[in-house]
Structure 1
Amino acid sequence: MDNRAGIVCWASLIDGVLIEIFSKLDFDSLISVASVCHSWRCVAHYTESWDRVHFCHHERFVDNYIKETVAVDNQERLFRESKYMIRHVGAGARSIYVCRIADDTMVQMIADRCPSIESISLRYCNRNSPSALINIIQACKLLKFIDIKFCGAVNFCSPLSTLLIEEMGQSCPSLVGINLGCLQVTEEMAIAIGKFLPKLKWFNLNAATISCEVLCIILDSCTELDHVSVRGCR
């Protein structure tokens, strides 16, 4: 609008109206409006403005992080956006992607601030401990998809891996997709997957170490699988 009155009108909108508008923006647009003026910046930092922001739809999450049928987004960009978003979102956040250098503090922040997330990727996160991963699984009971490929907390002995799978099944009854790529899958883990995650629909084992016998245990137990990837498995 060209006249001064129009500009003042936009700047003077009540917070509730601005929140309703801002909550419909994507990440980049929400960052931009926060630089317009002081009042917009304040509203842009309200958790209500971020609750509906998703880095991508669940379908894209499944393609990129579970099925790996398309190229993933720039990891460093995802990490920067994730860190910024975790500090602003409230309980309504649905998808969180944390890449490469997440530590226990960030993982715990997700568990504390985002209990309603349905999708999470902790790929390449080598600084978080198994206990931190268990905490987030216990806190985020609505999880449907989880990507822990190359996750440092999972690169450990079979008994602890089996414990994690058991925790996923008990704490996250809606879990239907998981990426365990590059992990060594033992018979004990396969039995745990069949027992605690029988409703799996998407399962990625790309570049994992697994025998045909162990894979058959999983396939016989998880009868609802729609997608299984064993590309590059040893």
Structure 2
Amino acid sequence: MVSPSSPILPFSSVSSPLSSSSKTSPVMKERGYRNWADLPPELTSSILLRLGAIEILENAQKVCKSWHHICKDPLMWRKIDMHNDLGHEHKTICRHKAMCRHVVDRSQGGLVKIDIWYFGTDSLLDYIADSGFTSAIVKLPLLEDLEVSACDLSVESLEVVGKCCPNLKTLKLNNPLINYNDDEFAIVIAECIPKLRHLQLLRNRLTNTGLKAILDSCSHLDHLDLRECSNINLVGDLEMRCYEMIRVLRFTH
């Protein structure tokens, strides 16, 4: 409950979580203050959706009973962002894995996007959708954004992404440790995910051949990030095509 003698405070400053009454005191009404708990549920939900999962679990849902109820709504967990305040200590990673499982449970199968950053493991993906990366993708047909960083992704797995996620608009692949032909990888992107609008390939061994295949097929692409892709020689006709097709182009040089 907001103190009668103070201005309206953000939720993190509100005391006595969950035990506060949702009623606005006479003093607050007289002074023109409004209780956050009195906001329409739709507006409160819209505000809370701008927070990350960790902020919601550790702060927002503890403000009052009405916020706690809204934070348990499966619609709040269609898109899960777990990158807030991440640490790399073992205890922190274990805690975030447990929190991730909890919010996936809250989504009740309605998950369309999940951002789990540095603590993603096969066992965690297994929990999200039965078994491993490809099983997770199969269970997420509404997925629109996918980022795979610092872990291996096979050509076969990418083909599954293209087959099972027809709504995919953003693909970010950031891994310098891959051990297969990156042009083959680019050809899979061109053939299986032609509706991409945003493609990021950082530190990739892609060559002009692979880039040309992507440009030939992905006609909706308007944001292309090829930083540290040292095997691409962006000159001549290929350079002209990139600047004509791509609204936002990022390149090492």
TM-score by length of 1: 0.61
Q: In the TM superposition, what is the alpha-carbon distance from 1:148 to its structure 2 partner? A: 0.6
Q: 1:209 to 1:95 in 2, by over 3 A?
A: same
Q: How does 1:133-212 map onto structure 2 within 5 Å?
A: 133-150=158-175, 155-158=178-181, 161-212=182-233
Structure 2 CA distance for aligned equivalents of residues 199 and 116 of structure 1: 19
Q: In the TM superposition, what is the alpha-carbon distance from 1:189 to its structure 2 partner? A: 1.1
Question: What is aligned with 1:64?
Answer: none
Q: How does 1:68-83 map onto structure 2 within 5 Å?
A: 76=87, 80=96, 83=100
Q: In the TM superposition, what is the alpha-carbon distance from 1:196 to its structure 2 partner? A: 2.2
Match of 2:142, SS? Answer: coil
Out of 110, 132, 147, the position equivalent to 1:121 is 147
Is 2:76 the partner of 1:49?
yes
Question: What is aligned with 1:217?
Answer: 238
* Kept in 2: contact 1:194–1:217 (CA 8 A): no
Match of 1:184, SS? Answer: coil
Instruction: Report % sequence identity.
Output: 13
Q: In the TM superposition, what is the alpha-carbon distance from 1:178 to its structure 2 partner? A: 0.9
Unpaired stretches in structure 2, ≥5 consecutive residues: 3-18, 24-39, 126-132
Structure 1 CA distance for aligned equivalents of residues 135 and 68 of structure 2: 23
Amino acid at match of 2:180: C
Q: 1:226 to 1:91 in 2, by over 3 A?
A: farther
Q: In the TM superposition, what is the alpha-carbon distance from 1:23 to its structure 2 partner? A: 6.4
Structure 1 CA distance for aligned equivalents of residues 189 and 232 of structure 2: 23
TM-score by length of 2: 0.57
Structure 2 CA distance for aligned equivalents of residues 195 and 139 of structure 1: 22
Residue correspondences, number: 202
Larger gyration radius, structure 1 or structure 2: 2
Structure 2 CA distance for aligned equivalents of residues 87 and 162 of structure 1: 38
Q: Is 87-96 or 200-209 further displaced after alignment?
A: 87-96
After superposition, what is the alpha-carbon deviation per residue over 1:157-180, rounded to whole angstroms, capped at 9, x for unaligned?
32xx34433443444343111111
Name the structure, 1 or 2, with higher relative contact order (CA <8 Å, separation 6+).
1
After superposition, what is the alpha-carbon deviation per residue over 1:28-86, rounded to whole angstroms, capped at 9, x for unaligned?
453135557999868744522312x4649xxxxxxxxxxxxxxx976658x84894554
* Kept in 1: contact 2:203–2:229 (CA 8 A): yes
